[in-house]
């Protein structure tokens, strides 16, 4: 993926810096920063195509000629004047506006004396501008990833395995079915639907010998195994391989299985829970129960922070002021890097097949979010305080001390049951993505 990037030094900087002869020097220094520092921290499939300007007319002409309406743009303001902004905003371009500290005041919406065009950055027309001003690369990278995430959603394909009729997301506890076309219009994401017969064919067709090797490694690295027999674990790993083959064959970025539908799991060699855990750890978002909206949320975490996430059924404890997030599909690598301690278990709700009980790191900050249909993004955050180990609910349970009032969550619950939890503080990035996409933000505990 390529994103056009404008680096603008077309006037003086704050403090009578950047005389005409100094502007090229400033651009050269910033070129080094982009090529030697920022580029190393970007996703592997993203390239910034940089265009450097010291002349106002050249920048304006470039934006007019080379930038398409609605095209995502990254703009680095190194001086007072920002001559291309007027046209970018009129073209309704999703825009990351990075103002170098002390470069000028354009970010504040003030019109600088002598300017020959109005500053639109603080007008309603600038609703798709993401602002960053920082002395560190971290916030710049976070801002770039916001633009990247919205672009990746537009270019992504999702595999939905279901027997439900038509092109509808009728996940069983949403208030209304949502059409595939609605998903495409709002997020740009394409949904490819296949049935249970094809899913089972891929699972049974996966190489048994390969599944045995994966199962052996899974067993050897576990803390211990409780319910499942070795053959059941091999079966679960064969399903995982079948899912990987499907992802490759259909060239999709993520998947969800309508696994609560009897037709999907009937006569299947194993449940897909282990496959979900392993795929998520490998950077491939995978959601259970046909919940495409949780899947889209999981994709956002992946694109924003290169981190897996955990689709959960929340449980509220008023006494402790906490929320316990439970399910049987936790990622093995909560942080996207290291395998966390885990126990091999059965699926909790019927004591069949295989799932993994994965321990999360105590004290880790985390974010909880969920896209509700095509309208709302819920948000809350807190820190992990325990891994409850009780033979109720789903296998993996993570207790979160939330910031805010847990009673609000209980009184004013919105949407369906599921939420999606990930390590790290992702509030700002998710807020900006929601704004760019046009989703209402709902803070669940504030």
Tell me which H or E stretch contains 409.
Answer: helix 406-411
Among 138, 153, 168, the domain-final residue is 153
Residue 427's pLDDT is what?
A: 98
pLDDT at position 116 is 61
Q: Show the CA angle centred on residue 111, arms to residues 106 and 114, nearest 5°.
A: 110
Same domain for 91 and 229: no
Same domain, 251 and 399: yes
Whether residues 194 and 141 share a domain: the answer is no
Domain boundary among 153, 176, 210: 153
Sign of CA dihedral 80, 81, 86, 88: negative
Residues 231 and 85 occupy one common structural domain: no
Whether 387 and 294 share a structural domain? yes
Q: What is the pLDDT of residue 264?
A: 84
Look at residue 44 and give its three-state secondary structure.
Answer: coil
Q: 84-102, pLDDT tens digit by residue?
A: 998 999 999 999 999 988 8
Residues 181 and 60 in one domain: no
User: What pLDDT is recorded for position 109?
Assistant: 67
Mind listing the pLDDT tens digit for each residue in 172-190? 656 678 899 999 999 999 9
Q: What is the CATH number of the domain that holds 390?
A: 3.20.14
- 265 close to 383: Cβ distance less than 8 angstroms: no
Q: Is the dihedral of CA 428, 434, 436, 438 positive or negative?
A: negative
Reduced to 3 states, what is the DSSP secondary structure of residue 75? strand
Burial 62-76 (b: 16+ CB within 10 A, else e): bbeeebeeebbbbbb
Q: Are residues 229 and 147 in the same domain?
A: no
Same domain, 193 and 145: no
Ranges of beta strands (E only) in 87-233 are 95-99, 129-132, 157-161, 168-169, 178-179, 190-194, 224-225
**Rounded distance between C-alpha atoms, residue 283 and residue 244, angstroms:** 12
Return all residues near 262 (Cβ < 8 A) that are at least 6 apart: none
Structural domain that includes position 429: 156-443
Count of structural domains, the chain = 2
When pLDDT is cut at 50, 70 and 90, the band that residue 227 belongs to is: very high
Which sign does the torsion angle of CA 250, 256, 258, 260 carry? positive
Which CATH number characterizes residue 32's domain? 3.40.50.2300
> Which has the closest alpha carbon to 77: 13, 165, 144, 161?
13
Do residue 73 and residue 118 come from a single domain?
A: yes
Residue-wise pLDDT tens digits, 387-416 = 999 989 899 999 999 999 999 999 999 988
Residue after which a domain boundary falls, among 153, 181, 207: 153
Question: What is the structure's pLDDT at 214?
Answer: 98
What does the alpha-carbon distance between residue 46 and residue 49 come to, in Å, rounded to a whole number? 10
pLDDT in tens, 234-282: 999 999 999 999 999 999 999 999 988 767 888 899 999 999 999 999 9
Based on the domain organization, do 101 and 190 belong to the same domain? no
- Identify the pLDDT of residue 115: 59
Cα angle for residues 80, 83, 86 (degrees, 5° grid):
120
Q: What is the mean pLDDT of the chain?
A: 93
Same domain, 216 and 308: yes
Q: In whole angstroms, how large is the CA radius of gyration of the chain?
A: 24
Check whether residue 262 and residue 379 sit in a common domain: yes
The model's pLDDT over 342-384, given as tens digits with 9 standing for 90+, comes to: 999 999 989 999 999 999 999 999 999 999 989 999 999 999 9
């Amino acid at each position: 993926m390529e994103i056009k990037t404008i680096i603008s030094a077309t006037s003086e900087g704050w403090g009578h810096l950047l005389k005409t002869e100094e502007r090229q020097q400033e651009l050269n220094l910033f070129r080094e920063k982009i090529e030697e520092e920022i580029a190393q921290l970007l996703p592997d499939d993203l390239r910034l195509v940089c265009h450097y300007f010291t002349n106002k007319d050249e920048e304006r002409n470039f934006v007019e000629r080379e930038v398409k309406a609605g095209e995502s743009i990254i703009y680095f303001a190194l001086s007072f004047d920002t001559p291309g902004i007027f046209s970018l905003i009129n073209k309704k371009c999703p825009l990351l506006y990075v103002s170098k500290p002390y470069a000028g005041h354009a970010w504040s919406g003030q019109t600088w004396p002598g300017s020959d065009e109005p500053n639109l950055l603080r007008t309603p027309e600038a609703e798709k501008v993401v602002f960053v001003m920082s002395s560190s690369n971290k916030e710049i990278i976070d801002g770039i990833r916001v633009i990247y995430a919205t672009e990746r959603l537009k270019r992504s394909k999702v595999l939905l395995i279901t027997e439900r009729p038509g092109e509808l997301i009728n996940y069983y506890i949403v208030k209304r079915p949502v059409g595939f076309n609605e998903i495409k219009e709002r997020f740009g994401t394409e949904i490819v639907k296949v049935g249970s017969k094809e899913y089972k064919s891929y699972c049974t067709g996966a190489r048994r010998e390969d599944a045995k090797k994966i199962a052996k490694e899974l067993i050897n690295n576990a803390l211990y195994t409780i319910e499942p027999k070795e053959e059941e674990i091999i079966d679960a790993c064969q399903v995982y391989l079948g899912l990987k083959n499907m992802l490759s064959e259909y060239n999709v970025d993520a998947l969800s299985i309508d696994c609560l539908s009897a037709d999907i799991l009937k006569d299947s060699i194993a449940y897909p829970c282990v496959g979900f855990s392993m795929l998520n750890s490998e950077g491939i978002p995978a959601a259970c129960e046909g919940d495409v909206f949780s899947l889209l949320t999981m994709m956002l975490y992946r694109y924003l922070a290169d981190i897996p996430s955990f689709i959960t059924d929340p449980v509220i404890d008023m006494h402790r002021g906490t929320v316990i997030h439970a399910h049987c599909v936790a990622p093995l690598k909560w942080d996207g890097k290291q395998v966390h301690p885990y126990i091999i278990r059965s699926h909790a709700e019927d004591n069949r097949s295989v799932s993994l009980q994965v321990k999360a790191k105590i004290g880790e900050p985390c974010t909880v979010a969920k896209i509700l249909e095509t309208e709302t993004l819920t948000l809350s955050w807190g820190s992990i305080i325990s891994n409850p180990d009780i033979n109720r609910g789903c296998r993996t349970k993570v207790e979160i001390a939330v910031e805010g009032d847990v009673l609000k969550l209980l009184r004013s619950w919105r949407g369906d049951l599921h939420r999606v939890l990930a390590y790290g503080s992702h509030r700002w990035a998710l807020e900006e993505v929601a704004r760019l996409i046009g989703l209402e933000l709902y803070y669940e505990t504030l």
